[in-house]
Amino acid sequence: MTEPNALAVPIAAVEAGENDLRLAYEHPWAVRFCHWLNTVSLFVMAASGLRIFRAFPSFGPKIPQHNLLNVPASLTMGGWLGGALQWHITFAWTYVATGIFYLAYQIFSGNYRQTLFVPKDVAGVWPMVRHYFFFGRKPAQTEVYNPLQKMAYTSAILLGFLSFLTGIVLYNPVQFSSLASLMGGFHWARVWHFGVLGAFLLFVMGHLVMVVLHGWRNFTSMLTGWKRNPEYLP
Amino acid sequence: MNRRELLKLSPLLLVGAFGIPKFRDPLLTTGVAFADWASAGWFRRNHLAPIFADSEVTPPDRFYVNTYDVDDPGVDLDKWTLTVGGDVMRPGEYTLAQIQSFPKLAQNTRHICVEGWDVIGRFGGTRISDFLQHVGANPKAKFLYVECADDYYESLDMASALHSQSLLCYEMYDQPLTREHGAPLRLRVPTKIGYKQAKYLTGLRVTDVVPKAGYWEDQGYPAYYGL
């Protein structure tokens, strides 16, 4: 059913009456599974994390305490600090397990080549930015992901790794004291952990906007793996 | 083709169990217990909690006092004794002078509250390990359980209790403990979260089974919470 091609993406040609369909298998099962499980985990981690932050919404001293912002309770989950900790600690497991499984799959299957932002992609970032934000001409799409997408997705994976490192330091700052001092100490680990959340929220917003703008096909391909007539196919 | 691929994602529906109240609590309890078990696993007996310079210590008036009940349960300091029991060879009442007869360890260590704030304090006291050895505690027992004058109670796993920085603390900032900080005796275990640092100790028991994990733990906070 699939035929060899230069894109390293399985392609299927489907006879569909007068209009021949060409289908590309963009997302293997493991990637789709991790994507949606991680969507749940990330949502729970963010919402319960904000509830934890409400208990001491500052990065300064306890005395005198200067609150940075008051996160509305409606944006949080867990109901109270102890409840939020239960959600945060429990979903940290699914979050980390998903991350390990995803990375292992990407590396051993070779599928990382589709996603990983590498030096040769650097030159293609600016043309994409110009296209999206400054009405530039749309560069030809030659791969499943364009350079800007690769950069965004690779950054998201790095953010996941950073959220884990800063999180484990906040949870066990004594056992991981070397890692903590690498981050500038317990206080700074808390700042970085929160900063990673901010970066994640920016990514998710951009990600959702692009999915809405660029259509249903990108969404369904993350569900079924297959995309109809992708523009990078001849 | 598409339907089959979509069906392959159906295991994800299992996450929906978190939406069902009947399953939610056991799942979250399991998640926390798993984290407790894992962090007990990577706890290193000989790894010291960071010790800070005097210049980094939080001034006493900026050391936040957290209470769950009363600032001062009205301990009669003259008549106070620590009731020691459980799996020990020499149970009984121990005076503060007896507890203070061991070598004193005074260190600047970080106290971290589960809420997210922290202070660096100077704490002095007797190593729990010295005292437990003196009373002939069974080193293979699993827990140290303490009771307090304000009806607070706590448990420590034995590995954390025997850590070389874990103290029966009777001094802060080189002065006898003030009432608000738990006079005359409190726990000071720098490898544990704040709510484990019980104040106003009255009883100490060595045991394999704790009736309750701790005041906050029994309301849903993690039972182990090592740092």
Interface test with chain B among A31, A90, A179, by most B beta carbons within 10 Å: A90
Q: CA–CA separation, B58 vs A87, rounded Å?
A: 32
Test A190 with B116 for CB contact under 8 angstroms.
Answer: yes
Contact call for residues B172 and B154 (beta carbons, < 8 A): no
The CA distance from A73 to the nearest CA of chain B, in Å, is 16
Interface contact B15-A40, CB threshold 8 A:
yes
User: Where is average pLDDT lowest: A197-206, B59-68, B109-118?
Assistant: B59-68
Side chain identity, residue A12: A
Tell me what pLDDT residue A21 has. Answer: 76
Q: What is the pLDDT of residues B31-51, one digit of tens each?
A: 999 999 999 999 999 999 999
Q: Which residues of A74-87 are buried (b: 16+ CB within 10 A; e: fewer)?
A: eebbbeebbbbbbb
The region of weakest confidence among A165-179, B3-17, B127-141, B178-192 is: B3-17
Distance CA A191, CA A193 (A): 5
- Assign residue B177 a region: left if phi > 0, alpha if psi is -120 to 50, beta otherwise? beta
| CATH 3.90.420.10 domain span(s) along chain B | 49-219
The predicted pLDDT at position B184 comes to 94
What is B49-219's CATH topology?
Answer: Sulfite Oxidase; Chain A, domain 2 (3.90.420)
Q: Please state, rounded to an integer, the average pLDDT across all residues of chain B.
A: 93
From the list A37, A190, A220, which residue is nearest B15 (CB)? A37
Measure the N-to-C terminal CA separation of chain B; round to a whole number of Å.
50
Domain boundaries A28-223, corresponding CATH code: 1.20.950.20
* The residue type at A60: G
pLDDT at B187: 97
Q: What pLDDT is recorded for position B72?
A: 78
Give the C-alpha separation, B6 to B1, whole Å.
9
> For chain A, first and last CA: distance in Å?
17
| Residue count of chain B | 227
What is the per-residue pLDDT across A7-43, written as a single tens digit (0 to 9) for each?
566 666 555 555 667 788 888 889 999 999 999 999 9
Contact B5 A187 (CB under 8 A): no
Question: B98-115: per-residue pLDDT in tens?
Answer: 999 999 999 999 999 999
Stated pTM of the model: 0.91
Q: Residue A80 region, left (φ>0) first, then alpha (ψ -120 to 50), else beta?
A: beta
CA distance A173 to chain B (A): 5
A167-199 residue pLDDT tens: 999 999 999 999 999 999 999 999 999 999 999
The pLDDT of residue A11: 66
Q: Which residue has the tokens 């919402």?
A: A47
Q: Which of B219, B226, B95, B88 is nearest to B145 (CA)?
A: B88
Closest CB to B227 among A33, A83, A174 = A174
Respond yes or no on whether ipTM tops 0.90.
yes
User: Considering only alpha carbons, which residue of chain B is nearest residue A38?
Assistant: B12
For A169, the token pair is 């330091």
